[in-house]
Structure formats: C-alpha cells, structure tokens
Structure 1
Amino acid sequence: MKNKGIKTNVCTFNFLICAACKSGKWEEAVLLFRNMIDCGAFPDIVTFSSVLDALCKEGKTAEALNLVEEMFRRGVKSNVVTYSSLINSLCHSAQWKEATRLFNRMLDEGIAPNVVTFTTVIHALCKERRTEEALSVLELMSQRGIRLNIFTYNSLIYGMCRTDQWAEATRLFDEMVVQGVLPHIITLTILLDALFQGGMPEEAHKVVEAKVKYGMELSKITCSMLIDSYCFRGKMDKAKKVIDLMVIQDHVPDIASCYKALVNGYMQAKRIGEAFRLVEEMIEQGVMPDLETLKALRGL
C-alpha cells in the first residue's frame, strides 16, 4: 500500500494490530502502533485497547502504564475494557497503589466498573489476605447495584477461609444460595476444607447437604472427614445422617471405611445396640465388615 502511494488509515492499522495481538506478537503490535503515529493515522480507543491488552497479558505493566498516559495526553477516552485489563494486570503484579489510582480515575471519569472489574480487584485483594479492603470493594459493588457472580463469591469465600473468618465465609455461602447463584464444586471444596480445619463440622454438614441438593458428588475424603469429626465429638446421630446421604448417592466410593468409623464411634459411645444394627445395615447394603470391626464386636 505504501509503495503504491495508498494512504493507510486507523482501520488498516487496527486490523494489523489486533491480528498481531491475537498471535501473541506484542512487540510487533507496539511497532505497528508507533508506525501508525508516524504515518499520521491517529490511534483510537480500539487501537489503545488492543495494545494495552497485549502488554497486560505479557505482564508489561510499565509499558502499559506509559501507553495509558499517552492515551490520556491524546484525549482518547478510555472504556471499561481498557481499565479492566490494566487493573487486572496491576493487581496480579501486586501494584496495589497504581491499581487503586486507576480504579479511582475510572470512577472520576464516570466509567462504571462492571462485575469483571470488581471481581478482579476482590480476587487480588483476597489472595493477599486483604479481606477488609475486599469487603469495602464489595460494598461499593452493592451500592452500584452490580450483581455478584460465581467468581466473585468464590474469591470472597476463599479470602475469608484463608484468614480464618469462618462465620463470614458461611454467610457468603448462604447469601449466594439465596441469590440463586449455583455453588460451584470449587466453592464447596474450599469452604468444606476450611470448616473442617476450623473445627466446625456442623457448618460443614450444612455445606454437604447443599452439595446433595445441587446434585454434586460427595467425595470419599469429604464424607470421611465429616463422619470422623462427628464421631470424635460423640455426635453419632449427625454422623449417621452423613452415612444416609452417602447411601442415597450409591456412586460414592469407599463407603465401607465410613461405616467402620461410625461403628467404632457407636461402640466408644457405649451405644452397642446401634453398632450391631449398623453392621446389619452394612451387610444389607452389600458392604462386609472388615476383620478388625468383627473382632471388636465379638469382644462385646
């Protein structure tokens, strides 16, 4: 085009820059961006957004910030996508001060952050255990009427569990269920592990019931931990409820070890008749007691 004297314009360069960015050739994208200015084709928001996105994905936050400043100097108005990409990159590289500055600038310009922007900031803060700040961002999100999605809840629950805020983690779990946001297997796994570690088996049991309600598979580890925890505390009726949940979902692996734990729990609690009845139930379910369990029962 240049050799034939055909004048290039912003659309020509945008196509080339977008293609370079999608191919991961960010250096070529930046070079094209510079050539564009030399050719007198002035970059628009599409140009800046493409190059910024490429730089952010490569972790080139310093170059991206310089580009943002150039964008501001040229009077090109940013959009939510531009800001979100850059804020995400800054958060991942722990540049909180710069991320906060851009977030505030975004608000000052009247650009409304979307759920992706908010979730990015919340996730980054929770990873750094800065849960108070994450909850402040959540409050701002609520004030703006932006609905939380599964990723927002996962990030918050993860953050609360990392900082031993079990009550807040459980509250968020209850809230997401009420709001009709279907818990993901990751949400439940994070919360269950944390509740077990925090010595809160009853809260964990509530989460297990939610897993059953939403048709999620109960793992061997989850059920074993819950049954062991109840048996240790002498709460045999609740331990039995977990076994009943497992029987409903007959695809659960290694139910035999869970029965064994419950039988031992009944014997330790001196509830001998229930221990025998449970062994009968085991056999009815096609699960044979092991030698250790039978020896203990013979002794009685």
Structure 2
Amino acid sequence: MASQGIFPDVITFNILVDALCKDGRVGQAESVVQIMIQRGIEPNTITYNSLMDGHCLQGEMDKAKQVFDLMVSKGFMVDVQSCNILINGYCKQKKISKAYKILKEMPLRGLVPNTVTYNTLIDVILDALCSNQQLSKAIELLREMKDKKLELNIVVYTIIIEGLCKAGKLDFAVEVFSYLSSNRVQPNVRSYTVMIHAFCKGGLLSEAEKLLREMGEKGCPPDGCTYDIIIRGLLNNNNASRAMRLIQEMVESRFSADASTMELIFGLLCKDVVDPALLPLLKRP
C-alpha cells in the first residue's frame, strides 16, 4: 500500500487489529498497535476494545484489565462496550465480584449500562446462585433494568425464574411468573417448562398440569421436553393413570417419548408400578 502512495488510516489498522484478536493472535495485534503509534496514528476506543476482547477470548483477564486501565488513563476513551467486554470476560471466568465492580463504576465514568451489560451479569450470577448466594444481586440488577426502562424480555425473566426455582424460592418464582401477563410479556416454552418442572419437583402436580393446559390456550404448545418433565413428575408421584393420558397426548402431538422417559417407564414397568398398557403407546411411531 505504501509503495503505491496509499497509507492505512486508523480504520484500516482497527480492522487488522480486530481480525488478529479474533484469530487469537493478540501479540501480533499489539505489535500492529505499536506500528500505529510509531506512524503517528493514535489508537482509539475501537482499537483498545479489540485488544481487550482478544485478551478476554484467551482468558487473559489481567492483561485485559491492563488495557482497560490504559484506556481510563487516557480519560475519555472508555465506553459502554469497553465495560461490557470486561464484564463478559470476568463472568466467563465466574469472577462475579470483579464484574459487578465494573458495573457499579460505570455511572462514575458517566456511562449508562445497557441490556447487554445486565443480561451478561444476570445469566452468570444466577448460574452461580446455589454456591455463591447472589440471588439478591440478580434481583437488584433486574430492578435497575426496570428503573432504567431497559428491555426486559422473556429471556431475562426466565433466567430469574429459573434461578429462584433452583434456590428453592418457588413462591417468589410464581410471583415473577404471574407478573409477566400483567406486563404484557408472553411466557415461552422454556419459561413454562421451568415452572412446570419446579411444580413437579415440589409435588404440586395440579399446578403443573394447569400450566400445561394454559400453554395450549395461550398458543404456546408444549414440546417434548415439557411432556417429559410432567410425565416424570406424575410417575414419580404414583399418578400412573394421569401419566398415561399425557403420554397418549404426547404421541398424538407427534412427539416421541425420549430416552429418559422411556427408561423411567420401563423401570417402573419392571417393578409393576405402572400399567403395562403404557408399552404399546411407547412403541407407536
């Protein structure tokens, strides 16, 4: 390019830096940045975000944080994307406290967290609920999202509901689930299935079946996983006749009994716990 009198600008260099980082060649990307500086081309936020993301992809969070700190030292360079990259990197390594710290520092830098920021944190925090007892932080983040009028879609709510269920807080999960309809958020198959599983686990089979019926009424038909979960729940609670009815319904809906369901039913058949009439249903195409 130089031999033809064409010299790369910051945009050209940024494309190269980003490509190298995504390819795992962060060291080469850093060398390109040094060439930029030597040529009097000042790296910008996009340049450093690419470098930081490259380190995060390699699991090099200390180096990513060094890049972040360099950006901070340059005053205006850190943006919401910079924070999201670092938060995501920390979350992937389950370093929740460090990710949360970056989030809390964002307003001090004049930055407003967006939906990506919160979704990243909520997902990982809930994933670590049982061992780290961070449910309160997840709820706090959800409230912050609402206060900032950020998009709260069914994916976010399902993450919260599942976290509550895993933490044994079924009453709160029911409260959040009930809240959806009043806020015009339509539950999806995943959110219904999470609640049905929680009801079955808690022995609340009537509630589980009620939700199963609601799915059809609301135009959100259950899938094979939903049927599998509620059939298991019924069989484990000695409700073979109701389980048989749902197996019939599952087959008529063109879902096949999956391996886990079949294993459970065959096991119970061997123990004469359930009616052998189940067997022909399982063999139907």
TM interval, shorter chain, is 0.7 to 0.9
Are the structure 2 counterparts of residues 103 and 241 from structure 1 closer, same or farther at C-alpha, using a change threshold of 3 Å? same
Give, as a single letter, the amino acid of the residue that structure 1 aligns with 2:221. Answer: G
The alpha carbon displacement at 1:93 in A equals 1.6
Query: Does 2:157 align with 1:153?
Result: yes
SS of 2:152's partner is: coil
* Paired position in structure 2 for 1:189: 193
Counterpart for residue 223 of structure 2: 217
Aligned match of 1:282: none
What residue identity is the alignment partner of 1:34?
Answer: Q
Q: CA deviation at 1:46?
A: 1.3
Residue 188 of structure 1, CA deviation: 3.3
- Tell me if the contact between 2:192 and 2:215 (Cα under 8 Å) persists in the aligned partners: yes
Residue in 2 aligned with 1:55?
55
Query: Kindly tell me: are residues 26 and 224 of structure 1, through their superposed partners in 2, closer, same or farther at Cα, counting changes over 3 Å?
Result: same
Question: Equivalent residue for 2:235?
Answer: 228
Quote the Cα distance in structure 2 between the aligned partners of 1:115 and 1:201. Answer: 36
Deviation at 1:5, TM superposition (A): 8.0
Cα displacement string for residues 152-198 of structure 1 (whole angstroms, at most 9, x for unaligned residues) = 12321221121111122222223334434443433333333333222
Distance 1:144 1:205, change over 3 A: same
1:199 matched to 2:203? The reply is: yes
Contact between 2:79 and 2:111, CA under 8 Å: does it hold in 1? yes
* Shift, 1:147, TM fit: 2.4
- TM-score, normalised to structure 2, is 0.76
Deviation at 1:13, TM superposition (A): 1.3
In structure 2, give the amino acid aligned to 1:199: G
Aligned match of 1:25: 25
User: 2:25 is aligned with what amino acid?
Assistant: K
Q: Does 1:162 align with 2:193?
A: no
2:68/2:82 contact within 8 Å kept: no
1:110: Cα distance to partner? Answer: 2.5
Structure 1 residues 43, 189: closer, same or farther in 2, change over 3 A?
A: same
Q: Secondary structure at the match of 2:41?
A: coil
Q: What's the secondary structure of 1:46's corresponding residue?
A: helix
The equivalences for 1:247-258 within 5 A come to 250-253=253-256
Q: Deviations over 1:46-99 (max 9, x none)?
A: 112222222222222111110011111122432222211111111222323322
Match of 1:101 in 2: 101
* Cα separation, 2, equivalents of 1:56 and 1:184: 33
> Quick check: 2:250–2:256 contact (8 Å CA) kept in 1?
no
SS of residue in 2 equivalent to 1:12: helix
**Match in the other structure for 1:246:** 249
> How far apart, in 2, do the equivalents of 1:78 and 1:43 lie?
13
Q: Residue type of the partner of 2:54?
A: A
CA contact (8 A) 1:52 1:67 kept: yes
Matches within 5 A, 1:85-164: 85-129=85-129, 130-164=134-168
Per mean C-alpha deviation after superposition, the further-off stretch among 48-57 and 2-11 is 2-11
Distance (whole Å) between structure 1 residues aligned to residue 30 and residue 24 of structure 2: 12
Q: Give, in whole Å, the separation in 2 of the partners of 1:146 and 1:32.
A: 38
Range with bigger deviation, 148-157 or 215-224: 215-224
The 8 Å contact of residues 80 and 113 in structure 1, kept in 2 or not, is answered as: yes
The answer to whether the aligner puts 1:75 opposite 2:82 as a matched pair is: no
SS at match of 1:221: helix
Q: CA deviation at 1:139?
A: 1.3
SS of 1:147 mapped into structure 2: coil
Secondary structure of 1:40's match?
coil
Distance change >3 Å, CA 173–CA 26, structure 1 → 2: farther
Task: State the shift of 1:240 in Å.
Answer: 8.8
Alpha-carbon RMSD: 3.4
| TM-score where L is the length of structure 1 | 0.72
Q: How many residues align?
A: 259
The residue identity in structure 1 corresponding to 2:46 is V
Which one has a bigger Cα radius of gyration?
1
Return 5+ residue gaps in structure 2 as ranges. 266-274, 280-285
Q: Give the % identical residues.
A: 24
Deviation at 1:290, TM superposition (A): 6.8
One-letter amino acid matched to 2:101: R
